[in-house]
Amino acid sequence: MRKYIALLLLLVGCTQTPSKDMAWFQESKKLKVLTSTAMIHDIVDQVGGEHVHSIPLIRGELDPHSYELVKGDDEKFMVADLIFYNGLGLEHGLSLRQNLEHNPKAIAVTTPILERRSGSILIVDGQYDPHVWMDISLWMETVDPIVEALCEKDPIHADVYRARGSLLLEKMRKADMEALTRLQAIPSEKRFLVTSHDAFNYFTRRYLADSGEKAWMKRCEAPEGLSPEAQMSVTDLIAILNHVENFHITVLFPESNVSRDSLKKILSAASEKGLPVRLCPHNLYGDSMGGASSYLEMIEHNVAVIAGELE
């Protein structure tokens, strides 16, 4: 096996793998974990601490919906002890999906939510909405399955993983309440969002909807659907313009990893109709953590940007 790893390292070394990934390949004492997104990576990192070496497959502003494997990724799948991914159809790039499906090392972190509380998972246009991380209270439910998977793989450090998991849940609970308090203080008639793509449904349901509101979906609209590869049609444009007009929306929120083209088209069509709409100067972080260094920082950034514009 050692010979095999050495050969892999040689191969991977030839593909200009970033130094962080090289260190992961060379890791010999810690559990090697591969995660699809940075949001999952952060949870694994916080739970695993010094005993786990985790890297995200999809880095920076790359789109997780359409990500396809690149040179060096196959080796990561081979070497990883555990692989965590989002599921609910997020990772639908063919080559990535093929490496995740039926892979005994791969765990979809949203499966327990689907099994235990399927009603909390949103279905949009007949598809699961995968953007569960946008609601901290729901993303908290991925922590225990991650803790348990690490404990099973590395029982010697089980107490550490469980203790770190509890601490993380406490931090998440606090951040969730802070987000609720800040956003619910905004008058209800102002709590409407137009974002680049449909990444903010869970966020809207948790933080922007009125308590018990059934028609909360009207509070968020996006030109590009659940996955940003989809193009905005003329029908979509008209629907958004009507939405902007009906709910007196004055600001559109761009996302850091989605082109601004659709939002600019909406702006120009809105200006032709005499609607006073502008683009928020700050990006929201939808499918990537953007400039945030942790998952909670990402959500806190979104809360601050949205509250700053709508308050």
Positions touching Zn ion (CB under 5 A) are 199, 287
CB 105 within 8 A of CB 80: yes
Residue type, 56: P
Structure tokens at 118: 């399927």
Q: Minimum distance between the CB of residue 302 and Zn ion, rounded to whole angstroms?
A: 13
CA separation for the pair 189, 213 (Å, rounded): 13
Closest CB to Zn ion among residues 55, 199: 199
Which residue is closest to Zn ion by CB?
A: 287
CA dihedral for 140, 144, 145, 149, sign (positive or negative): positive
Closest CB to Zn ion among residues 90, 147: 90
Q: Minimum distance between the CB of residue 286 and Zn ion, rounded to whole angstroms?
A: 6
Closest CB to Zn ion among residues 132, 266: 132
Give the angle subtended at the CA of 81 by the CAs of 76 and 85, to the nearest 5°: 70
Instruction: Calculate the alpha carbon distances from 70 to 57, 77, 93, 96, 229 in Å.
Output: 10, 12, 12, 10, 19
CA separation for the pair 294, 27 (Å, rounded): 23
Q: Minimum distance between the CB of residue 76 and Zn ion, rounded to whole angstroms?
A: 22
Q: Minimum distance between the CB of residue 169 and Zn ion, rounded to whole angstroms?
A: 25
Closest CB to Zn ion among residues 199, 303: 199
Q: Bridge-partner residues for 194, per DSSP?
A: 221
CB 72 within 8 A of CB 9: no
Q: Minimum distance between the CB of residue 65 and Zn ion, rounded to whole angstroms?
A: 6
Structure tokens at 31: 């559990």
Q: Minimum distance between the CB of residue 86 and Zn ion, rounded to whole angstroms?
A: 10
Q: Minimum distance between the CB of residue 51 and Zn ion, rounded to whole angstroms?
A: 31
Residue type, 96: L
CA dihedral for 191, 87, 54, 173, sign (positive or negative): positive
Closest CB to Zn ion among residues 122, 168: 122
Closest CB to Zn ion among residues 151, 199: 199
Closest CB to Zn ion among residues 25, 139: 139
